[in-house]
Structure 1
């Protein structure tokens, strides 16, 4: 048989080039540097700004809540009646009495609460090797409890001053203006400002244990397939988690309000004494006085605060 002719050199070259082209790996895309998460100081600043924004919006409801929780009689027939009475007797400005004390205190309080929870969650997630949104519930509760314990340093004196300012008009001597913030703080002193610290802890730690993991879980349920969460979902998660957690700890909030509302020279009362006095004189239902305005305060406050906080975090991460 006649052997088949050898292929031309040009054909061999083309075949070699074709084979080389098919097997050569595609050039790797240039690596995009990972964007670092904002540091603790930046988180503190974001939390402070977010807290101030939320407080300015919902403060009048907070005034109504304090008046309802502090009444031992049926002076007000409900939230709406309390609001109308305040406006009629003290004017619209009366709804914002004590706002300065709240703004001064809410700055470190919200900064500490949000930043500590965020930081602890990040460190626990890094230690476990998971994403923050996938952090086990027990670890999320631990992060929330840590935030709740740390924030009491700012929360207790802020709320003591705020509550006494909110009640100043009801204690004013006829013909004299209500006491100023400086006068209230001076009368209370350091011990008075930190009255009710244990009750504040017993309210804020359980609140944070419930709120932060629930908020994180709701966000994860509302996340898109690629893991992104819309701002509306962040806000809605904050609303729902805040409402549930605030309602659950209302009894301790009532006790805390009663303890902090006592006059500066009044004898100290323990949590147990306050609890038994309320139940004995007003019934167990009194422990839930003001639960509706409290939920109406905390729910939008944390919804707005977390929305602003999340927006700041995303922006800083984007430009970082």
Structure 2
């Protein structure tokens, strides 16, 4: 375990903590730019019958053929705005929780801001901070991902043929018929899914330490490789819960909205429906585009985050 290193001048915690929230905005922009087309393919594979697309490549080709390249960026507006806030809250709160755990639970003598800081906080502490940050950001992520998912499964090329013309129209219609509870449809599933942040941030710490000790990679290169590989660990552990979450978020809400009859009253109803469709393999439908997206999107997001963290005064 690496020992904590004292800095000559340690600014107040409130001053140090702001950096994580600011740098998280840049992380969200980088993640969206690189990853959204992969996410659209993933959501479409997760939420349609297996007969519609034979695999990720056919999904991409059909989307581009019928809807153009912009079809791959359907639903991008909510995460463009949302992921800036989401990554700001997630990474900013993660930095705060890591500091609090290091100072008050694991007995660190000092703390430096940033995910790459050399601290006394062990991988378990990073994992626990990940769970806490995941729960915090879920209250922003749930409505953003809910709206994004409903826009992504609209296959009509013309806006006039879609139930929702855009994100604001989607929010307006859902709120009109189902209130705030309708906007937050899928919150419990989101909290469960983001509980797997334990594996993401715990493995990020382990990989960062290994790369710093055993390679001569620069700090941005360490961020890139540790960020990309830890994201793969996260998705390998969390993907089935994400698929069930997407089924819940794209389930018809019913009522005056006129989008169909609701199928899943509870999380376990959605999980059971997935299993009936194809056994355990059904929980991994759409995994390939997700896995391919995870490395570049999250690697670039963490390079952006750490770079800004090092730049800010």
Structure 1 position 157 matched with structure 2 position 143: yes
Name the residue aligned to 1:56: 33
Quickly say closer, same or farther: Cα 1:263–1:177, change in 2 above 3 A.
Answer: closer
Residue 198 of structure 1 and its aligned partner are, at CA, apart by: 1.0
TM-score between the two structures when normalised by the length of structure 1: 0.82
TM-score under structure 2 length normalisation: 0.83
* Contact 2:66–2:157 (Cα < 8 Å) also in 1: no
Distance of aligned partners of 1:286 and 1:220 in 2 relative to their CA distance in 1, 3 Å threshold: same
* Aligned-partner SS, 2:84: helix
Distance in 2 (CA, whole Å) between partners of 1:182 and 1:282 is 35
Q: Which residue of 2 aligns with 1:200?
A: 190
What does 1:59-74 align with in structure 2 at a 5 Å threshold?
A: 59-74=36-51
Point out the structure with max Rg over C-alpha. Answer: 1
Q: Is the contact made by 1:171 and 1:178 (CA closer than 8 Å) also made in structure 2?
A: no
Task: Deviation per CA, 1:202-258: give whole Å up to 9, x if none.
Answer: 11111x100111101111111158999621111100110101111221111111101
Deviation at 1:172, TM superposition (A): 7.3
Query: What's the secondary structure of 2:50's corresponding residue?
Result: coil
Which residue of structure 1 aligns with residue 115 of structure 2? none
* Match 1:129 to one of 108, 118, 132: 108
Q: 2:226 aligns with which of 221, 225, 237?
A: 237
Runs of 5+ unmatched residues, structure 2: 1-6, 112-117, 255-260
CA positional deviation for 1:196: 1.1
Describe the superposition over 1:110-149 as per-residue Cα deviations: whole angstroms up to 9, x where unpaired. 1111111111112222331256544123222211111011
Counterpart of 1:309 in structure 2 is: 305
Look up the SS of the partner of 1:73 in the other structure. coil
**Pairing 1:289–2:289 present:** no
- Superimposed CA distance per residue, residues 144-203 of structure 1 (whole angstroms, 9 cap, x where no aligned partner): 111011010111000001011111225979866962222211122222221111111111
- Given the alignment of the two structures, is residue 260 of structure 1 paired with residue 249 of structure 2, yes or no? yes
Cα gap change, 1:176/1:240 in structure 2, threshold over 3 Å: closer, same or farther?
closer
Is residue 246–residue 299 contact of structure 1 (8 Å, CA) maintained in 2? no
Q: Which runs of 5+ in 1 are unaligned?
A: 1-31
Are residues 1:46 and 2:23 paired?
yes
Q: Is 1:218–1:237's contact at 8 Å kept on the other side of the alignment? A: yes
Please name the residue that 1:34 is paired with: 9
User: Which 10-residue stretch deviates more, 46-55 or 32-41?
Assistant: 32-41
Return the alpha-carbon distance in structure 2 between the equivalents of residues 300 and 108 of structure 1: 20
- Contact kept, 8 Å, 2:94 with 2:129, in 1: the verdict is yes
Aligned match for 2:235, one of 246, 251, 257: 246
Task: State whether residues 141 and 210 of structure 1, in contact with CA within 8 Å, keep that contact through their aligned partners in structure 2.
Answer: yes
Cα RMSD (Å): 2.5
User: What is the rounded CA distance, in whole Å, between the counterparts of 1:209 and 1:314 in structure 2?
Assistant: 25
Q: How many residues matched?
A: 285
Cα deviations by residue, 1:252-307 (Å, 9 ceiling, x for unpaired): 11111011012232435211111111111332211111111112223322211111
Cα deviations by residue, 1:31-61 (Å, 9 ceiling, x for unpaired): x953647533332121012111221122111
Matches within 5 A, 1:110-189: 110-127=87-104, 128-129=107-108, 132-170=118-156, 179-189=165-175
- For residues 16 and 150 of structure 2, the distance between their equivalents in structure 1, rounded to whole angstroms, comes to 36
1:82 aligns with 2:59: yes
Q: 2:195 aligns to what SS in structure 1?
A: helix
